Structure 1
Amino acid sequence: MSGPTVLVVGPGRVAVDAAIEVRDQGAEAVLVTTQSLGAGLSDDLPGIDVLSEHELLRLDGGPGDFRAVLIGSGAVTEIHCAAVVMAPEPLHPRPYGTAAVMTLHQACCEGIPDFVQKLAIYLGPEADRSSFKRAVALALKACALPAHQRVWLFSKEMQAYGADELVYADAQAAGVTFVRINGPATLVIDPLSISAQDCPSEVPISIFPDLLIMDGVTDNEGPSRSGPALLNGGTVGHVSMGPVATMREGVFMCSSNEGSVLEGESLTKARAAAARAVTLALNPPTRSAAVVDRDKCSACLTCVRNCPFLAAQPGDEGKAVIHSNLCQACGVCVGGCPSRALSLPEEGTMGPQASAKEGGE
């Protein structure tokens, strides 16, 4: 079979059904799962490339030109695909005695359980500025709840700008304790704890929270098990969707996390997501990317700090370069450039390769 590749990520029946639908509609299906497919499911699916015990570490690019970075059996693999279907299993707070673990994405969507009085938020090495922004907002919200007495946020040093800086200041005023770390923290399951050294004060800090919220955590963070292991490989717990938390163009979600109660509803959603992914893969949109006028660019790198997709990066002479495979043409860099050195071409007039060349990549 020859056709565009669609990546399906998930450990269970819904993911398998989505992969089968992708195959049946004429695309190449690659199924990525953090574990064996489970009871009643076989890793030998005709016409489907199954990568068991693999994790999706990062997803870059856009519709028609995604680059998925996977890890499995100690090796890193890259797969280029045209579209992605995410099919996570239901994920709920996992209790350890009186304590529990959640992901940042889950906590933002579902809220913080009522039993929590001590909350720790840990942003691991893979967390980005978008994760930090959401974590600060969540910590501020937690402080406003009567039951939450203390909140700690462990993260590497990250800068906040504009309105985000005001939220950061409000969180400090509300009593959030920010712990700045240079490396991974030590996580222990029983009893649940997180330990790290605060860089500014060089004081070791150990917290025994009722709830630990994590994001950007990898499997090799010291002797203790980290996020994916704690969460039984649930894809919502460890899949990095890039610099934004929401599903972006070309990535389709299907699972009972969306509220399906009956298995039939979940499988119907799986087939629908697969159909949409194949349709997009067969007809990828022509994407435009922001263009840098190097004569006007003052190398202030405001666009680098503001870009929510990490598409703007420093280039030669410190001037900005726009990576077209990451740029979503949102216009944030154009509106924030003090030198008016950035612009967006008219829709459909410039493809990814041309825009990369104009941007100086």
Structure 2
Amino acid sequence: MKISTIGIDLAKTVFAIHGVNERGRAVLKKVLKRDQMAAFFANLPACLVGMEACGSAHYWARKLQGMGHTVRLIAPQFVKPYVKTNKNDAADAEAICEAVARPNMRFVPIKTVEQQSVLSLHRVRQSFVRARTAQANQIRGLLSEFGLVVPQGIHQLAGRVPSILEDAANELTGSFRQLIQRLLEHMKELDRQVHNLEVQIRVLHRENEVSCKLARVPGIGPITASALVASIGDGKSFASGRQLAAWLGLVPRQSSSGGKNALLGISKRGDTYIRTLLIHGARSVIRAANRKENKEGWLYSLLQRRNPNVTAVALANKNVRIVWALLVHAREFRSDYMATPTAA
């Protein structure tokens, strides 16, 4: 039984396996428990293994690569069209096996342990930021029910809520004051956690030469640079800077038919977190550009013709392409760089 390609439907405890030979004929249909996976693939001749890019996929990809197999990770939305029947584990494994053998299939880069560790810091920091924002909104909403309106901004809450609680002239009861004080302390604790994680990310950023190189691009700071390096690695998994921008959802959606091209807003596909960081960084560059006396250059001319939000997305797109060029060609960022025209 010669197996050339295997599709694995990953799960927590039960894994569905589907294998085919060189002619595409199914020769293996099996269900394995988690503790059986390593022993099974260690005794299997090297072959092409496909998996969906889901939970624990990068762990199993690294483990199977260490056994000599060629592993490819596929985005789940690219596997779905190959499911022939109703959804179940066996059908999913067969669809993955079919999809991984397609010559034009796009694959997800396999992350290292270090990359996953850095991204874990970013994800936890993001969850703390969301919880802090939700807590601030809850405090502001509860106080507004008593006619006490606090201006927007977390720093406004930290500065004004204590004086509100100490004001005996308002109608707040003792139990309600204690409740708001408890919520305020919880918000401050979340803010402290966010700050501590940012310190860890900045330390890792300073220790990474590639991350420091990306941070020299205007609009890309330590947090954005760290997230980019942890997500895309050396960038060689992407054929061009535009493909990387498309992966991050910074290119227009298309609705074209009959030879008529219709470009819509950005696709917003890919990693929402990195896209948000890039656009916020671009907004900071725009604010700094508006304060300068010298009103020249590509950015200012675009601001004259387009909405600031459109300009921010365009600058984020440009920065992503610069990042790809710096990573793939091992270059340093130069603000005065001019591309050399190619000979006809």
* TM score, norm. by length of structure 2: 0.27
Higher strand proportion (structure 1 or 2): 1
Higher helix proportion (structure 1 or 2): 2
Larger Rg: 2
Higher relative contact order, chain-length normalized (CA < 8 Å, sep 6+): 1
